Chain A
Amino acid sequence: MWNDFLLILDATLRISVPFVFAAMGGIFAERSGVIDFGLEGKMLGGAFVAATVAYWTQSAWWGLLGAIGIGIIFSMIHGYASISKRGNQVVSCVAINIFAMGLTVVLANAWFGMGGKTPQLSKEARFMSIELPYAEEFRNIPIFGDIYYEIISGHSILVYIAFLMVPITAWVIFKSSFGLRLRATGENPLAVDTTGISVNKTRYQALLLNGILGGMSGAYLSTAHLAFFVKDMSAGKGYIALAAMIVGKWRPYPAMFACLLFSFLFAIKDKPEVFDLLKGIVPVKLLNSFLDMSPYILTVIFLAGFVGRAVAPKAIGQPFSKEK
């Protein structure tokens, strides 16, 4: 039982990485007042480019860099449409998501002809798990040893980077000068303008960070979690990350915990033990669908504010314009 529990938590961490990256990216964009429903597209684009570049160069790091590149390109397109051209931000996001859906498959088929999949990556071309120091030695210490060995150690480097991003995001948002401007821009852009700071520049900066993190979330999917890209592999994860961010009230730590909660559901739904446990409560015929749906249903429930209401940055979605 204890071991199962550890394994589930271990899986939870692995699954949560793209959510955490994307949610942190979302926080930067939305705190600055730019809606970001386009995390899904950046994740998908990042996953495809990472897998492709990693395959060509046989290096996971180049793949990561490529993913960051596409993330930035997408976020800059979004920025151009919604900041410079003051277009509808939601429309722009949906455009990017659908564009990414089409582009990745078209390119994957043109280049690899494997029905929307990219070739399997070798060990060198992906992020492998790394053993932290003393994992074996600590193993004998009760509880802590188990936790250290099973949960904390033995992940790919991206997992550690993802969780490092949380305190970094928190510091930037709340403790840095840039963060003060960022938050002010999301709350009252006119006020920011009258102090002589450029609202648009601040928003572009926020979107740059957003693109980097969005791309990283995708790279993890295809070069660390799995070893290839497959059509539609983000499967709504970008939207779920968005929901986690909203539930976390646009704060890094609460958003991270929301990500972990969603991931926990993903982690347990494939465990036969859980199936057995719920068998008595939910009819078997329905049980599979129920488990498959649970992350999506939970997302809806969270968004409906049944777990506390969220107050968005006040100027979110409003392009900055001096003319009335």
Chain B
Amino acid sequence: MNETQANTLVVTLVTIINLLLAFLVSGIVIWVLGEDPWFALKTMLYGAFGYDEGLGYTLYYTTNFIFTGLAFAVGFHCGLFNIGAEGQAYIGGLGVGLVCLWLESWPLWLVFPLAILASIVLGGLWGAIPGYLKAKRGSHEVVTTIMFNFIASVVMVNLLSHVLKPPQEMSPESREFSEGVWVPQMHEIFEWFGIEITQTPLNGTFFFALICLFLVWRFIWYTRWGYELRTVGTNETASVYAGISVSKNIIIAMVIGGGLAGFVGINEIMGSSHRLMLNFQAGIGFTGIAVSLIGRNHPLGILLAALLFGILYQGGAELSFEVQAIDRHMVVLIQGLVILFAGALENLFRPQIEQFVKRLAT
């Protein structure tokens, strides 16, 4: 076993053990609530995989978490703690929605790239402002991005209830987009190949998410822009020495992160609800933090972690349906624990695991 392999093994074991710890504590919470953790686990797994509708939902949620997980990861590689994916997804989604409303008579192959562009512009802008303030004024991005989440929420409530809502409607949402600009749903795509699956919100955006994973991976580790970003993220002084602009890279990372978060809008707005509505992004942004941290900020890890949280979301919904005492927010609690164990308490058992791997290697 060479050094790289040993390292990979350590990292994998550390991640798995931290994850198990988070689940253990969650299990205890369920047990304290007087429910059976085993039953809960079984119900969740059945809900997530047991039937193809469940699987469709699971992958639909996974799509969202890939975007917000990547949004966090890109910032993280630049040394930023972007916890504003929530607001960036909200505003990016606004861009997607506006494009769909304005250009609904255009063909999808034109609207789709424009929606991506709108999401990058608006979501990116929502990331760029905290990025700019961090780069030029030193304001900590954790506080500013949180504030921008709140600001986004106020903006959207007012836009939806005063501007975008059709006058005769009651609920604060836009009208439905014309069918021409909907992203094809997965069961439609499968139909093209003659395969029949149950209709779920899962749609073509899933493939776009996979493409994003690939592109981010190449960008971060194989391009000079990624090189600069990582340099800024690990050592600002060395960046200045190398002639790399710290502020430029911070802003770029926040714009890319905001844009990626905004893609949640494509999955949710263009692919599923087909209208702009309140809180479509609720909780997805925060989940991205846990996804990225447990995935060690690497696209492959993010894919697996996003799937895991897709399972937790879908399975959790099933669980709260079956067991009244367990609320859907159980997932949020688990997220907190995952961030704690995989992020802050990363070193909890690391020395022991390193010892173990070392012994294994010799």
Contact = CB atoms under 8 A, between A and B. Distances in A.
Interface of A: 37, 77, 80-82, 85-103, 105-107, 109-110, 113, 116, 235-236, 239, 242-243, 285-286, 288-289, 292-293, 296-297, 299-300, 303-306, 309
B238 interface: no
Contact of B343 (A88, A110, A243, A299): A88
B300 interface: no
Query: Main secondary structure on chain A at its contact with chain B?
Result: helix
A102 B137 contact: no
23 contacts: A85-B348, A87-B343, A87-B346, A87-B347, A92-B345, A98-B290, A101-B332, A102-B332, A105-B327, A105-B329, A106-B29, A106-B33, A106-B330, A106-B333, A109-B325, A109-B327, A239-B146, A285-B158, A289-B154, A293-B150, A296-B154, A297-B151, A309-B138
A106 B329 contact: yes
A99 B346 CA distance: 17
B344 A100 contact: no
A77 B348 CA distance: 13
A130 B293 CA distance: 49
A116 to B, nearest CB: 8
Contact of B81 (A82, A90, A113): A90
B139 A103 contact: no
Given A110-B33, A289-B154, A303-B133, A85 B333 contact: no
Interface string B142-172: 1110111011001101100011000000000
A96 B340 contact: yes
B37 to A, nearest CB: 14
B182 interface: no
Nearest to A299: B147
Contact of A77 (B142, B289, B333, B340): B340
B144 A303 contact: yes
A81 B290 CA distance: 16
B339 A91 contact: yes
Contacts of B174: none
B130 to A, nearest CB: 8
B238 to A, nearest CB: 18
A300 B339 CA distance: 25
A94 B348 CA distance: 18
A223 B206 CA distance: 46
B143 A299 contact: yes
A292 B324 CA distance: 35
B144 A102 contact: no
Contacts of B231: none
A280 to B, nearest CB: 19
A258 to B, nearest CB: 13
Contacts of B330: 102, 106
Top 5 nearest A-B pairs (CB, nearest first) are A99-B336, A102-B333, A102-B332, A92-B344, A91-B343
A102 to B, nearest CB: 3
A37 B329 contact: no
Given A102-B331, A292-B154, A236 B336 contact: no
